[in-house]
Structure 1
Amino acid sequence: MRFIPTLFAYYATSVAAIGIALVVNNTPSPIYVWSVGGSIGARNDIRPGGGIYWERMHRDERSGGIAIKVTKTPDGLYSGAPQQIFAYNLEGEQVWYDLSSVFGEPFVGYEVKVEMDAGESIVWPNGTNPGGSRVKSASNEGNLFLFINPRS
């Protein structure tokens, strides 16, 4: 069962058209998130145990897609630390989404899962890429979630 705070549930259902992208930190430690397109957004510190980062999905005019980069260290985007990349690209009435990593896999031992309201999930059950490309697409009216969960 997915927990969405009341504010987000209201926002997601009261705004027509394009959905929101959320990162949910269910780990016992803080994580750090940047939204990257043609430029790098500010760092967002996400508290442990259910902390959330969210943004309304949008198209970057310079790069097209958005990469939400997640690290376990506050300077991870600039220090070469392992990065989890939760990417999406709006194209017409579709959103294309993917999960990848660079410089290593920061959440080894955790379940890393992307869920889309109206689309297929991408699951890395052990925090590592199980192999192959898993690019998915769905209607851009749905909400897109990245969950970082302790393994059951």
Structure 2
Amino acid sequence: MRFTIITLATLASSAAAVGNAIIKNNCPQTIYAWSVGGDIGPKQTIGTGKQYSEQLHRDPKSGGIALKMTKVNDGLWTGAPEQIFSYSLDGALVWYDLSTVFGEPFSGQHIKVTSEGGPTIDWPKGTNPGGSQVKVGNSEKNVVFTACA
């Protein structure tokens, strides 16, 4: 009986393990990011060679999360071009994609999203190369947006 309880507890804890959404900044300028779901999280300032990380989670209001990035301080509030790295946690899966609004802040710079064992989203010129950008991977793995890859 004790063995069964320990086994069930171990399975429950491993089933709850999820990866992280990570923004890596390899660009020569600072990136500003906000985690947006039903609410807007605090501004994250990501300097050259730095990264921002948050545990993959499901927003109770909107379902998904959009990590909105600008190259302008407070750009979320000024209409600056935004790079949007979105994800939606769905049990053992995480759906992720890239899009832009108000312009393409990384135009001319290589950006990509990777996930161990999952498909890559690759924008070699920092602009949408066309086609669907939605991918799906294992929610236990990190999903990484890299600026200036």
TM-score range with shorter-chain normalisation? 0.7 to 0.9
Between the aligned partners of 2:44 and 2:103, the Cα distance in structure 1 is 21
Q: Which amino acid aligns with 1:47?
A: G
Residues 26-41 of structure 1 aligned to structure 2 (within 5 Å): 26-41=26-41
Residues 50-89 of structure 1 aligned to structure 2 (within 5 Å): 50-89=49-88
Q: Which amino acid aligns with 1:131?
A: G
The structural deviation recorded for 1:115 is: 0.3
1:60-86 CA distances to partner (integer Å, 9 max, x unpaired)?
000000000010001110111000000
The structural deviation recorded for 1:139 is: 1.2
| RMSD, matched Cα | 1.5
Any unmatched runs of 5+ in structure 2?
A: 1-15
Between the aligned partners of 1:75 and 1:43, the Cα distance in structure 2 is 8
Between the aligned partners of 1:88 and 1:68, the Cα distance in structure 2 is 8
SS of 1:110's equivalent in the other structure is coil
SS of 2:77's equivalent in the other structure is helix
Residues 107-146 of structure 1 aligned to structure 2 (within 5 Å): 107-146=106-145
SS of 2:52's equivalent in the other structure is strand
Between the aligned partners of 1:38 and 1:133, the Cα distance in structure 2 is 25
- Name the residue aligned to 2:44: 44
Any unmatched runs of 5+ in structure 1?
A: 1-15
Q: Which amino acid aligns with 1:27?
A: C
SS of 2:76's equivalent in the other structure is helix
Between the aligned partners of 2:147 and 2:96, the Cα distance in structure 1 is 16
1:79-111 CA distances to partner (integer Å, 9 max, x unpaired)?
110000000001121100000000000011110
Runs (4 or more) in structure 1 with deviation over 6 Å come to none
Q: Which structure has the bigger radius of gyration? A: 2
- Once the two structures are aligned, what percentage of the paired residues are identical? 54
The alignment status of 1:24 with 2:37, answered yes or no, reads no
1:13-60 CA distances to partner (integer Å, 9 max, x unpaired)?
xxx621001000000011100000000000000011x11000000000
Report how many residues are paired: 136
